[in-house]
A and B are shown apart, each in its own frame.
Chain A
Amino acid sequence: MAKPRILILRAPGTNCDVETAYAFEHAGGEATALHLNRLLESPQLATEYQVLCVPGGFSFGDDVAAGRIFANQIRHHLADVMQEFRAAGKLVLGICNGFQVLIKSGLLDTDDEQGAAASLSWNDSGKYLARWVRVSVSGDRCVFLSGCEALQLPIAHAEGKFVVRDETAFQKLESDGQLVLRYSEQSGSTDDYNPNGSAGDVAGMCDSTGRVFGLMPHPERYIDPTQHPQWTRLPQRDEGEGLQIFRNAVRYFS
């Protein structure tokens, strides 16, 4: 079986491309980082891949708003390519800044007749925050979360608060089973379990097919056991909990 090919789509300011590619490779995929400029020149390049991943970072400096300029590039120039990619049964993953890009480009099925119904905005603290959180999986819609129940992962963002236009919009996404990853309480921790004030404790969501997934935490930062903040206190482990997300994507094509 050929290894699934993963396109790591980077833009000016993307900075998690190397470790994200490593995570996919570690999970058995074949990852290639490609600059957005190349895809804009030759959109058909996307057809050569089974998984497209927008990694974390500060695309275009997060200037104007996080992920906004990258998302507009997709809306203006790559909308058809992305729809074809999804229609072909392929997978799309957005991590942190990648999640901000996906949600603002409409690829997570959050647009309705009134426009965008959900977005990611400034943390309630008004500040960038780097720490670890616990997240739990809701439902079984999302391909990337297959077999996962709860994960410990780091977050590192300023604009990660999941916001919705109103309660109706939230209920719609909820009942469609798209709100698949939630911040959850961790025994013994004194920190707020929801680090940014996200509506419904949402840490990640998928589109209506379950094959397009965006999340604020960084699964590529928990591949090796020594990445866990308490690894010197814990029993020895073979791997980090984030690896399962990449393995699920690779196995989907095996």
Chain B
Amino acid sequence: MLWEIDLHPREDVVDREAAGVRDDAAELGIADRLEIRSARGFLIESPSLQPAEVEKLASDLFADGIVEQPVCAAIGDPTLTATPGSAAQSDQLLQVLLKPGVMDPVAQSAEAAARDFGYPIDAIRTLRKYWIAGADQQQLEAIGARILANDAIEQVVFGPLPFDHLQLGSEYQFALQTIELESLDDDGLMRLSREGQLYLQLAEMQTIQKHFGQLGRKPTDVELETIAQTWSEHCSHKTLAGRIAYRDENGELQFENMLKETIFSATEQLRAGWGDDDWCVSVFRDNAGIVRFDETNNLAFKVETHNHPSALEPYGGANTGVGGVIRDTIGTGMAAKPICNTDVFCFAPPDTPVDALPPGVLNPKQVMRGVVSGVRDYGNRMGIPTVNGAIYFDERYLGNPLVYCGNVGLIPHDQSFKEAQPGDLIVSVGGRTGRDGIHGATFSSAELTSESDSLSGGAVQIGNAIEEKKVLDAILTMRDRGLYSAITDCGAGGFSSAVGEMGEEIGAEVWLDRAPVKYDGLSYTEIWISEAQERMVLSVPEQHWDEVQKLCADESVEATVIGKFEPTGRLVLKYDDQIVCDLSMDMLHNGRPPVIREANYTPAPTEPLNLPPRDNYTADLKKILGSYNVASKQWIIRQYDHEVQGGSVIKPLVGVQSDGPSDAAVVRPVLDSRRGVVISCGMNPRYGDFDTYHMATSAIDEAMRNCVAVGADPSRVAILDNFCWGDCEKSETLGSLVRAAIACHDLSLVLETPFISGKDSLNNEFSYVDSDGDKQTIAIPATLLISAMGQVEDVSQCVTMDLKTSGNLLYLVGATDDELGGSHFALVNDLKGGTVPQVDAETAKTTFAKLHQAIKHGMVRSCHDLSEGGLAVAAAEMAFAGGVGADIQLAKVSVGSDSVSDAARLFSESNTRFLCEVTADSAAAFAEALAGVPLAQVGQTHDDARLRIHGTVASEVLIDAGLEELKAAWQQPLAW
């Protein structure tokens, strides 16, 4: 029997959910001033639940009687659909349910809690209900589709529910599936690749055809799937680790393995040069890169992307992106303890008109809200502070937003490596396997289209953070007791990639029928490739299995033996003792034909940038402060817990009212130690339109500047690369990426800043058919995120960017050049051309080192890096964050040549520059510490709450504004 318990807001309580829907309907232009009532409900399937027991559950488990009114009845009872309260009878009821099989964590918890009452419960599902008056059918459908439900995971029911029991799955009948390959021609192979969602290329399909031809048998479906997962771009990074012939204005370069010969190679050279002082521990081999932290611990750092899932279902995509990268650090070495998160997003501008959206594209504001909520709910629930982030806006992210999720973990020195042993049991720990996330790995390697939504709904998932938190608690205990010999996460490809990776050097046999499933009916293939969340795989010596099982049970975590690492060199899968897959590990991991690509790059010719005539730049400054990239992200930051774990030192918002933008975050991961971890990032896709070489060096410089500005030691900064690019089968697109990788190599070597891990996401393009019937493709701009992890010996040496007191001196560190190309001054004024900022590597290295010494010795009261908007924006942010005014004289700025205009002095985005506040007492020592670095005392702080900037000619005032109006300009655009 199916019961329903609805919870209505009590009459005297604001119905916030309904108000939100009403406001969204008005904002989207669907309907104004609708009358809406909302409720949340629970469907309870039980063989014998009594009415009194339902009432008891309603009052003692589900409803908070002070704010909620429960309504209970058996399904079909009219009280469940009647309009609550006094609203009109003509109200239409819309009910929103998760589609069957979609993760419903609230329902899972409710099931356990209801059973704790001693009642027989088969299953529980949640739903949301909306009674809407004053809307016609078309408006109701628009509200359902665009506000209430995302079709990828949810369904809307108009009126009463059309069922009287919950679907619990049906029993699976085993039947071995084989695939005919031998007879297929090239077209047939490619059709199979596409229609089977394998997304393999022709040469790869031909290799597989030949392999099974030699074996004299047909492949099974699960064998094909396993090969497709292992060979997917997502899992093997075959393009960038492949053979590339690159050509640019300097000539030709041949790479056998492009990433290895650029970025990895720089790190190897640095490590060799450091010899005994090498502080890298494990780079480019494990799920995260590892470096040394203190006498006991190392740090692991990984940043991943979750772009395609977030495009279809922003909340679930971002949610599982965070969950996935956390599992990366948990699955590094013998398990790191996650200590902080960093999240960077790229969206189309949130004010993109609704009628300008191509078919299949979600409104960017909706995407942004969903992504932020997804990150918030996972990070906060895991108890991992989200301390750093950034958001970039560009029209070209419209159909393909980017979601980068990063996590730092702390790991003891002696737990930093792992090796599965022959004879070890393969143990699945954590969540159950369901149909969710089938084909995530292959899907993420394909291009998004307006039909992706219907094609790949299975790739979209919702996370359950508490499951992962339980798994983490259990794993850290087991790690410290030495109960397993290796661990990895179930990420893209599920068991397929986890077991395949761990057993690559040994061999494995897996008993798929033993994997715990969420519901009946899963085929052996679905079990093997499901990307259901919150699962880890351990390699457990047989003698420890009992203890593993007990410790997991103690934490309410499910642990199951699903196989054994056998020294056969083969991957054998069985279902009910029948072999469904038998592949050699060698074929799987080394059998893929090399990808060979051409890459070309032609730098865009430099065009002059024509400055608009101006005698005052105050309006330009406000426009830049209010541009989306620069504007305050307080609305987002305040939703993230950035202080959990108790080690917060420098928060994302700083200053006298905690609302100024910090350059980097600092946390103290060991509570009885003073040593700190510094997290920052750098990114500037706009520079890539000029030259991806300078875009990459600028991103590295920016990440370093942000770290150094708060006090990090530049000789202990490790960085990560995340390349998000368009379709790299196009040689120009791949060329722009190779060029960026060469830049990473070059600057990393000079700065002695090692790359320790990285990830790429290619094919970030969105295709649709426009109203004329023509195919249109939007490629994202070349987007390289550099994430930096620095260290500070004693956190009390850290500084923040807010001006502290009047009467101090302001120093500009670094030289300013006429580099307005790609700048925000050019953006807000719609100016084309100009020279893009470049990095002088040697000067950068010296500057970072010397400034660090000055900060470390307490000579600097505040420090801010110069990035988007240049000197003017940095000065404004420092002033309004500190509530302290400043005067700046542009004539004093160190410039590359005398011809640098006032506009460039104000807004040029030249690299390696900082604005520092220094007391008069420290001025001489500061100047001495920075000797040899371009340095100028450009101004002073004062009591008047205004920022004034004087030009080079006769000191005329070019900018004069009150701090409150500057702050308002900066805060207003994203104050949602």
Q: How far is the CA of A121 from the CA of B16 in the complex (A)?
A: 12
B799-838 CB mask vs A (1 if < 8 Å, else 0) is 1101010000000000000000000000000000000000
B466 at the interface (CB under 8 A from A): yes
A61 at the interface (CB under 8 A from B): yes
Residues facing A in B818-862 (CB within 8 A) are 862
Cβ-defined partner of A35 (8 Å) among B554, B799, B802: B554
Cβ-defined partner of A221 (8 Å) among B62, B646, B653: B646
Residues facing B in A84-105 (CB within 8 A) are 104
Q: How far is the CA of A38 from the CA of B477 in the complex (A)?
A: 15
The minimal Cβ–Cβ distance linking A242 to chain B, given in whole angstroms, is: 10
Known: A63-B109, A69-B109, A190-B657. A12 touches B649 (CB 8 A): no
Q: How far is the CA of A232 from the CA of B656 in the complex (A)?
A: 10
- Count residues of chain B with CB under 8 A from any CB of chain A: 64
Interface contact A226-B796, CB-CB below 8 Å: yes
- Count residues of chain A with CB under 8 A from any CB of chain B: 63
B633 at the interface (CB under 8 A from A): no
Interface contact A61-B381, CB-CB below 8 Å: yes
- Segment at the interface with B among A125-133, A134-142, A202-210: A125-133
A22 at the interface (CB under 8 A from B): yes
The minimal Cβ–Cβ distance linking B337 to chain A, given in whole angstroms, is: 9
**Whose C-beta in chain A lies nearest to the C-beta of B654?**
A229
A81 at the interface (CB under 8 A from B): no
Q: How far is the CA of A191 from the CA of B659 in the complex (A)?
A: 10
The minimal Cβ–Cβ distance linking B553 to chain A, given in whole angstroms, is: 9
A97-126 CB mask vs B (1 if < 8 Å, else 0) is 000000010000000000111110110101
**Whose C-beta in chain B lies nearest to the C-beta of A233?**
B804
Residue of A64, A124, A163 with highest tally of chain B CB at under 10 A:
A64
Q: How far is the CA of A154 from the CA of B648 in the complex (A)?
A: 11
Q: In terms of DSSP, what is the predominant structure of the interface of chain A?
A: mixed
Q: How far is the CA of A70 from the CA of B347 in the complex (A)?
A: 39
**Whose C-beta in chain A lies nearest to the C-beta of B469?**
A13
Q: How far is the CA of A129 from the CA of B656 in the complex (A)?
A: 19
Q: How far is the CA of A57 from the CA of B644 in the complex (A)?
A: 9
The minimal Cβ–Cβ distance linking B320 to chain A, given in whole angstroms, is: 15
Known: A129-B639, A226-B649. A232 touches B798 (CB 8 A): yes
Known: A61-B464, A68-B61, A128-B376. A165 touches B658 (CB 8 A): no
Chain A residues within 8 Å of B64, by CB: 65, 68, 104, 116, 119, 121
A149 at the interface (CB under 8 A from B): no
Interface contact A64-B67, CB-CB below 8 Å: no
The minimal Cβ–Cβ distance linking B484 to chain A, given in whole angstroms, is: 21
Chain B residues within 8 Å of A58, by CB: 380-381, 383, 465-466, 469
Interface contact B109-A64, CB-CB below 8 Å: yes
Chain B residues within 8 Å of A220, by CB: 646
B604 at the interface (CB under 8 A from A): no
Chain B residues within 8 Å of A191, by CB: 657
Interface contact A64-B106, CB-CB below 8 Å: yes
Cβ-defined partner of B65 (8 Å) among A115, A124, A128, A230: A115
**Whose C-beta in chain A lies nearest to the C-beta of B642?**
A130
A4-45 CB mask vs B (1 if < 8 Å, else 0) is 000000001111101100110000000000010110000000
B52 at the interface (CB under 8 A from A): no
Chain B residues within 8 Å of A82, by CB: none
Interface contact A12-B469, CB-CB below 8 Å: yes
**Whose C-beta in chain B lies nearest to the C-beta of A128?**
B639
B555 at the interface (CB under 8 A from A): yes
A156-169 CB mask vs B (1 if < 8 Å, else 0) is 10000001110000
A253 at the interface (CB under 8 A from B): no
Interface contact A227-B646, CB-CB below 8 Å: yes
A83 at the interface (CB under 8 A from B): no
Known: A130-B641, A229-B658, A230-B658. A64 touches B671 (CB 8 A): no
Residues facing A in B60-89 (CB within 8 A) are 60-62, 64-67
Interface contact B466-A232, CB-CB below 8 Å: no
The minimal Cβ–Cβ distance linking A60 to chain B, given in whole angstroms, is: 5
Known: A22-B671, A69-B113, A230-B658. A12 touches B643 (CB 8 A): no
B334-376 CB mask vs A (1 if < 8 Å, else 0) is 0000000000000000000000000000000000000000001
Chain B residues within 8 Å of A254, by CB: none
Chain B residues within 8 Å of A190, by CB: 657
Interface contact A132-B380, CB-CB below 8 Å: no
A235 at the interface (CB under 8 A from B): no
Interface contact B639-A12, CB-CB below 8 Å: no
Interface contact A60-B113, CB-CB below 8 Å: yes
A215-240 CB mask vs B (1 if < 8 Å, else 0) is 00010110110110110110000000
Q: How far is the CA of A126 from the CA of B14 in the complex (A)?
A: 10
B640 at the interface (CB under 8 A from A): yes
Q: How far is the CA of A16 from the CA of B882 in the complex (A)?
A: 31
**Whose C-beta in chain B lies nearest to the C-beta of A12?**
B470
Q: How far is the CA of A94 from the CA of B923 in the complex (A)?
A: 50
Interface contact A130-B638, CB-CB below 8 Å: yes
B20 at the interface (CB under 8 A from A): yes
**Whose C-beta in chain A lies nearest to the C-beta of B384?**
A15
B569 at the interface (CB under 8 A from A): no
Q: How far is the CA of A41 from the CA of B168 in the complex (A)?
A: 32
A73 at the interface (CB under 8 A from B): yes
Cβ-defined partner of B67 (8 Å) among A73, A104, A163, A230: A163
Interface contact A61-B646, CB-CB below 8 Å: no
Residues facing B in A46-77 (CB within 8 A) are 56-58, 60-65, 68-69, 72-73, 75-76
Known: A15-B469, A128-B639. A73 touches B116 (CB 8 A): yes
The minimal Cβ–Cβ distance linking A111 to chain B, given in whole angstroms, is: 11
B651 at the interface (CB under 8 A from A): yes
Interface contact A63-B106, CB-CB below 8 Å: yes
Interface contact B654-A227, CB-CB below 8 Å: no
Cβ-defined partner of A233 (8 Å) among B66, B651, B653, B802: B802
Q: How far is the CA of A116 from the CA of B66 in the complex (A)?
A: 8
Cβ-defined partner of A156 (8 Å) among B106, B109, B117, B641: B641
The minimal Cβ–Cβ distance linking A12 to chain B, given in whole angstroms, is: 5
Cβ-defined partner of B555 (8 Å) among A12, A19, A64, A124: A12
Interface contact B116-A76, CB-CB below 8 Å: yes
Q: How far is the CA of A166 from the CA of B775 in the complex (A)?
A: 62
**Whose C-beta in chain A lies nearest to the C-beta of B380?**
A128
**Whose C-beta in chain B lies nearest to the C-beta of A240?**
B646
B220 at the interface (CB under 8 A from A): no
Interface contact A57-B383, CB-CB below 8 Å: yes
Could you show 25 A-B contacts with beta carbons less than 8 Å apart? A12-B469, A15-B645, A16-B383, A16-B644, A18-B671, A22-B671, A37-B555, A60-B109, A61-B466, A62-B381, A63-B106, A63-B466, A64-B62, A64-B110, A64-B113, A72-B60, A121-B67, A126-B16, A154-B643, A156-B644, A221-B643, A221-B646, A223-B646, A227-B649, A230-B658
Which A residues are closer than 8 A to B by beta carbons? 12-16, 18-19, 22-23, 35, 37-38, 56-58, 60-65, 68-69, 72-73, 75-76, 104, 115-119, 121-122, 124, 126-132, 154, 156, 163-165, 188-191, 218, 220-221, 223-224, 226-227, 229-230, 232-233
List 9 extra interface pairs beyond A37-B556, A115-B65, CB under 8 A.
A15-B645, A19-B646, A23-B646, A63-B110, A76-B116, A116-B64, A128-B641, A129-B638, A227-B643
Q: Enumerate the 6 nearest inter-chain pairs by beta-carbon distance, A residue then B residue, closest first.
A: A15-B383, A19-B646, A63-B109, A61-B466, A63-B106, A13-B466
